[in-house]
Structure 1
């Protein structure tokens, strides 16, 4: 019998051979049909093989994660180990599996008030910092250790805390809180509710107005008299920093432990310390026995750069040299003639921006020469070098980009519909597009102070053409209810592109007086949240930030 042999290959299969008996003919159509049938058969075999393989114990399929319970002894929990952070604890324990730790500090207001954190402490021996406890409360903390196969060992502990210090605000409440739109995190408040009694006590509140972190240095051997002026902020490494009038710059951790202290070499701190991108510090100081050319004493008119690693003075700006020390348009005080309340570094051109409460906002080169002055044009003369300050004054533009020629507006005695100068401002910040925003306190506005309102105001500055244009503002429409004659801050919230507008002194609230921190949608000017803080002394705070409780960069207790 003669045979016709047809050879063919199927993708992923061995060579197949078909035979035909004499007298029959395989057409192209029947061959295609046979090809499909064989392919389906092979797929069925592969599926059966795969199913059989999946059921083979110990091969290719991980078992379901195992969840076990374990107990952490009460003596493993140390509340406030530093003595300065009463709403923190350190938990030291051994876990039954090798893995990393995750915690949940259970909130009073459901899951939205829970604090969750993941550590990178792989192993069976663990020491973690638990932050975010409530004061005077039996706190529940869920602790889980998870290995690389997602097996979990769970434990639940209770931590009972004491009452808060007596000088905390007597009223803290979110009058408005759209938590679906709010910038995430906690409000870090540089409180002044303790004044005039030291030490300063910064705290963090959650979105329900509960204090979840506080630093209390009443028993600290150095910092029991702390006055931090502008307040506390977070370093790039995740720790916090502030300065004290007599003791210099301090870095502290989440537990309030002092990590490092920088000396000021005989200068006296006031108001602001600012971390540069390279880690060095800019700090506003007074030089003891400083005088002007007439021999009159002066204060608060020096800026230093302190080396982060060396502790040395890297650079000094004497503002009596670069500015007009005798200008009296906004203040008659010859001693506190500028009252520097903030300093900001601009890495785009290695300059500094200085807020002088009773002079304006000034940009200075690294070698202490003026680049521009943002402020009313009234009363400027020459500096000690003989340079005419009028050449550095920024000229205002209207909304269409035209120069405003009205001398009353330039002078500061009148406002333009599109433009107002800032008055006795605080807290200059860089905006994402390069503009400058300040807290315009509005004290003595237009040299009269007859109409009181404070603003967050954004300016677009053209240093080539020496012009300034007001591009955004909020607060004038709120009038007296958000007016703060002194202190206060503005911050940009990058996660939501909101602005945090925080008037901090004698602001009227539903109960008493203090400060407000208002989160505003930049695009719509809708109020997303509004925190009210009232204290017996009428002080709220100097500055407010929004940030995570745990630093993003530091995951372990150490």
Structure 2
């Protein structure tokens, strides 16, 4: 009896499996969806490309759909996200792309669309309920990491009406982990790979809610030399998609997580970090280094943060700017006054307040010390270029060189056009390229005996000052015309006046805008913010200032504000508290301020869902 029952059960099970398999594969009736469908289209797929967990696609169910609109119903007192979907996006994703879901929440999503079937168009409105999981990112295991991922976000100044619909793309990263440091053990002179941090990439609304984040697991591996590094240089291109780089790669994805390309750097270059600029000509400008340079002394080195390579849309190298051949890699005046506790990515609390001497620099040559260390000459971090901006108007590039305290414009002919920076220590061939500071009436401004201490040097209002260890030097195309151009920058403020102050707490950072007359070779400071905030808003490294044409505004991100150390021991007393601020053009009153406590920030900027999905 038992055998008979067993045989019957087995036969029934086989029949069930066979029937289910037939339905799943298709069979005579064609493909079949054998799970719940909420509405009048097809299946719901959350995180469709395994990269963006707070996105979804409502599949088209075999219908031709068009004219779609999506609205994420906000939480109480929350921010609405509503956008039209371009018909091309409906076809690309095989349905309606949904962006901006709240994590760990049953989201109500209203969709309106036109469905075509049997020669007839039908316009429908539906509401879908979509649950998403809590935010998850890999962790280091340190107890101090509890609650620092996305939990402590404070809207300090609520958005004015002009900015209430803003979404802010945030490029942060976590501290090093045991996983990530192991990959560099056999690479002691590591460049970008030495800075091997888990990414923390997300989008905030103006209420401080996370509405999108990148799950890097499918495209990033801390243990792999060619799939790790710091994810940096994120930018939303004019086509709405995202580009960025990390270590030995650069990539392009859409906001739904669909890969467009993810490539290794061209073989002659290594160590991407900081900046990837897209140009109107369709090419990309990457801040990299030379994979193998024969120095004049016969030594072979890998250079550090001092090459710009231009590639076309297919990854073919078009041109490069080898800055050790264009500038003076042995100008060491700035290197001697840098705070060695905060050399951009290398934040070493034990070196806080320390500077390098002439003897220290000489020992590097004597001991053949090369790699991502502050020092003069190719093979060391003498330039530390942290942004590149292609000026298509005259086919030149504008770079920010942190370790030269200078913003520099260089032509396609590899000749320096101008230098916005203090005049200390430049060779004769560059002195004629230095911009002269002037006031609003065109009168020359005196900056002291050596030219390093301008009227705006002290912590007070007014006057003019240069930038010091600055980041993100960007031309403001919309305000510029001909030889008169505007340039924005984040003036970090370390080594201000070519010295370290008596107390670290005397330091401050600024967001600043300059007006440059390229014909007269003059520069005027037209806007600044940050002096009044003092040390609390001071960011020793990273950060951003950038003009936003859609709202005629200035966006700034003081990315490591609030980083403090125990002066006696040098030990960090906590992670920084980055600040997002956006200003109406000309105003010094923030139209919004968002503070993130306990976070390592790099850059942040306004993200456009319309550009991403509506075009």
TM-score (norm 2): 0.71
Post-superposition offset of 1:263: 3.8
1:372-411 equivalences in 2 (<5 Å): 372-381=418-427, 388-408=429-449, 410-411=451-452
1:404-419 equivalences in 2 (<5 Å): 404-408=445-449, 410-412=451-453, 415=456, 417-419=462-464
1:29-108 equivalences in 2 (<5 Å): 72=39, 76-94=43-61, 100-108=67-75
- Counterpart in 1 of 2:260? 259
Structure number with higher helix proportion: 2
Structure 1, residues 336-362: CA drift from partner, whole Å, max 9, x if none? 111111111112211111111011111
1:424 aligns with 2:429: no
- Counterpart in 1 of 2:328? 324
**CA distance 1:108–1:265, shift in 2 (3 Å):** same
Residue-pair matches, total: 474
Contact persistence 1:107–1:115 (CA under 8 A):
no
Contact persistence 1:442–1:485 (CA under 8 A):
yes
SS in structure 2 of the partner of residue 532 of structure 1? strand
1:175-324 equivalences in 2 (<5 Å): 175-182=156-163, 184-193=165-174, 195=176, 198-220=197-219, 225-247=227-249, 249-266=250-267, 267-268=269-270, 269-290=272-293, 292-294=295-297, 297=301, 298-309=303-314, 311-324=315-328
Contact persistence 2:473–2:490 (CA under 8 A):
yes
Post-superposition offset of 1:77: 0.7
SS in structure 1 of the partner of residue 130 of structure 2? strand
Distance 1:497 1:460 in 2: 16
Distance 1:445 1:517 in 2: 23
SS in structure 2 of the partner of residue 231 of structure 1? strand
Structure 1, residues 284-325: CA drift from partner, whole Å, max 9, x if none? 11112336545674411111111113x221111111111111
1:438 aligns with 2:479: no
1:406-555 equivalences in 2 (<5 Å): 406-408=447-449, 410-412=451-453, 415=456, 417-431=462-476, 432-434=478-480, 435-450=486-501, 451-507=506-562, 513-535=576-598, 538-539=599-600, 541-552=601-612, 554=614
- Counterpart in 2 of 1:142? 110
Structure 1, residues 195-220: CA drift from partner, whole Å, max 9, x if none? 55543131111111111111111243
TM-score (norm 1): 0.78
Q: Which moved more, 1:93-102 or 1:332-341?
A: 93-102
- Counterpart in 2 of 1:162? 133
SS in structure 1 of the partner of residue 87 of structure 2? coil
Distance 2:164 2:101 in 1: 21
Contact persistence 1:396–1:410 (CA under 8 A):
no
Distance 1:375 1:292 in 2: 27
Distance 1:176 1:534 in 2: 15
Post-superposition offset of 1:405: 3.6
**CA distance 1:120–1:96, shift in 2 (3 Å):** closer
SS in structure 2 of the partner of residue 218 of structure 1? helix
**CA distance 1:103–1:188, shift in 2 (3 Å):** same
Structure 1, residues 9-31: CA drift from partner, whole Å, max 9, x if none? xxxxxxxxxxxxxxxxxxxxxxx
**CA distance 1:97–1:369, shift in 2 (3 Å):** closer
Contact persistence 1:91–1:127 (CA under 8 A):
yes
- Counterpart in 2 of 1:49? none
Distance 1:185 1:191 in 2: 19
Contact persistence 2:42–2:62 (CA under 8 A):
no
Distance 2:614 2:230 in 1: 24
Distance 1:238 1:114 in 2: 17
Distance 1:313 1:545 in 2: 28
**CA distance 1:275–1:244, shift in 2 (3 Å):** same
1:361-376 equivalences in 2 (<5 Å): 361-376=407-422
Please give the root-mean-square deviation of Cα atoms over the aligned residues, in Å: 3.0
Contact persistence 1:183–1:546 (CA under 8 A):
no
Q: Which moved more, 1:137-146 or 1:165-174?
A: 165-174
Post-superposition offset of 1:521: 2.4
Post-superposition offset of 1:413: 7.7
Distance 1:326 1:72 in 2: 67
Contact persistence 1:363–1:372 (CA under 8 A):
yes
Structure 1, residues 380-424: CA drift from partner, whole Å, max 9, x if none? 126xxxxx2212111111343211244336234874652101000
1:19-38 equivalences in 2 (<5 Å): none
Contact persistence 1:71–1:155 (CA under 8 A):
no
Distance 2:244 2:520 in 1: 37
Distance 1:428 1:340 in 2: 10
SS in structure 2 of the partner of residue 389 of structure 1? helix
Contact persistence 1:72–1:157 (CA under 8 A):
yes
Post-superposition offset of 1:174: 1.5
Rg larger in 1 or in 2?
1
1:357 to 387, 397, 402: 402
Q: Which runs of 4+ in 1 moved over 6 A?
A: 95-98, 147-151, 221-224
Post-superposition offset of 1:547: 2.2
Post-superposition offset of 1:367: 1.8
Unaligned runs of 5+ in 2: 1-36, 140-148, 181-196, 337-374, 481-485, 565-573
SS in structure 2 of the partner of residue 202 of structure 1? strand
